[in-house]
Amino acid sequence: MFYSKGEGKMGEPIRVGIGGLGRSGYGIHAEYLKDDPDFRIVAAADELPERRKDAQERFGCRTYRSYAEMLAAGGFELFVNATPSRFHVEASLAGLKAGYHVLSEKPSATTLAEFDRITAAAEEHGVLFFLFQNSRFYPYFRKIREVIASGVLGEIICIRSNWSGFARRWDWQTLQRECAGNLLNTGPHPVDQAVVLFGDAYPEVFCRMAAYHFDFGGDADNFCALTLYGKGRPTIEVQVSSFLAYPQGEQYNIQGTCGGLSGGPAELRWKYFDPKSAPKHTLWKPWSFDRQYCSETLDWQEESWRFAEASSNANGFVSLSRGVYRNLYGVLRNGAGREITLEQVRRQIFVMEEAHRQNPLPVNE
């Protein structure tokens, strides 16, 4: 029995067609889906014959030379858009207009106008559009949100997030014409987390980018320093650099009025004090008291969290896919709410579009 045009019955596996069998389509999506009994890979598309052969042999699915051929053939309800980045918008629109639910890889769009066209198409054709923001499901990020929500750190003043290292590249992810670069490639992970931590508002954006690709021919950004800020909101600093030869502290450092948090995927630690039991002070007037410096002893409380299985892949992209796909299954089969909302992703697109507007980089011919 084939289902197409976004149809499906409760309790039955979701039949999936994957467009693009590259690093993401094959190495992340298919790698996860093959082991989840609530999904079944029934179709895949890629222009390279060796990739189609891999899919046929490993997944037993039908294969096509292009996602357009696969959409026309039907037989599935969910189109996983893992095409190269510059095709994400047109492929998502094609899938939605053909009546399929669509899960898009990142970046789903590069401008708000593109993103709004996609969401409008989904609404017009009565299907759903999903975003593959798998880093939302990192165990450490969920713990960070839990600690912040508990209120022990007080009002959050500043959040620093560093997703950097030293790496030279010479592939398509260095070309602006491919919708590539650090911000559009790695950036959707930290920017998604940043917009969640910033809250339900569009932030002010300040960004500086640079592109230095030696003589390899690239022209997209490989250094990005991004700041989000707004009235009554934390200042959030995100850096995605390919030139960080030495680590600069932990991936996250969070500053609050009553304490702070530091850490990353493997481990977090945080400390805080109770302002109700802290020493009371009055402002010294007119100058310092007896030439002293302000000094006090706070009753710090310290806690920590460690990922239970540091040697496992549960912090890796394949296992993080579970969070996305289990929520997607719940939405399509059981009417569950979205964990990754379209409005959150729209704010992410807004941030990245504004960052690029502020940093027009030369384009190689």
Which pLDDT value is given to residue 2? 36
Q: Does residue 116 form part of some domain?
A: yes
Q: Does residue 63 form part of some domain?
A: yes
Which pLDDT value is given to residue 190? 98
Give exposure, 29-65, as e/b (b: 16+ Cβ within 10 Å): bbbbbeebebbbbbbbbbeeeebbebbeeebebbbbe
Q: Among 117, 132, 147, which residue terminates a domain?
A: 132
| The amino acid at 77 | E
pLDDT tens track for 95-125: 999 999 999 999 999 999 999 999 999 999 9
Q: Domain range holding 74?
A: 14-132
pLDDT tens track for 190-238: 999 999 999 999 999 999 999 999 999 999 999 999 999 999 999 999 9
Q: Among 132, 159, 181, which residue terminates a domain?
A: 132
Q: What is the 3-state secondary structure (H, E, C) of 7-25?
A: CCCCCCCEEEEEECCCCCH
| 17/42 Cα distance (integer angstroms) | 6
Number of H helices, E strands in the chain: 10, 14
Q: For residues 334-340, give the mean pLDDT.
A: 97
Residue 320 in tokens: 């993080």
Same domain, 175 and 94: no
Q: Does residue 46 form part of some domain?
A: yes
CATH number of the domain enclosing 95: 3.40.50.720
Same domain, 92 and 143: no
Contacts of 59 (CB under 8 A, 6+ apart): 30, 34, 41, 44
pLDDT tens track for 277-289: 999 999 999 999 9
Q: Does residue 38 form part of some domain?
A: yes
Which among 104, 90, 112, 92 is positioned nearest to 356, based on CA atoms?
112
Which among 230, 259, 231, 237 is positioned nearest to 156, based on CA atoms?
259
Q: Does residue 253 form part of some domain?
A: yes
Same domain, 93 and 126: yes
Same domain, 56 and 157: no
CATH number of the domain enclosing 210: 3.30.360.10
Same domain, 50 and 150: no
Same domain, 123 and 74: yes
| 101/106 Cα distance (integer angstroms) | 16
User: How many domains does the structure of the chain reveal?
Assistant: 2
| The amino acid at 47 | E
| The amino acid at 204 | E
Q: Does residue 330 form part of some domain?
A: no
Q: What is the 3-state secondary structure (H, E, C) of 260-287?
A: EEEECCCEEEEEECCCCCCCCCCCCCCC
| The amino acid at 36 | D
Same domain, 102 and 202: no
Interhelix angle for 342-358 vs 188-198, to 10°? 110
DSSP 152: T
Same domain, 121 and 241: no
Same domain, 149 and 181: yes
Q: Which residue has the tokens 């969401």?
A: 119
Q: Does residue 25 form part of some domain?
A: yes
Q: Among 98, 132, 166, which residue terminates a domain?
A: 132
Q: Does residue 333 form part of some domain?
A: no
**How many CB atoms are located within 10 Å of the residue 10 CB?**
8
pLDDT tens track for 18-59: 999 999 999 999 999 999 999 999 999 999 999 999 999 999
Same domain, 227 and 353: yes
Same domain, 182 and 127: no
Residue 317 has pLDDT above 70, yes or no: no
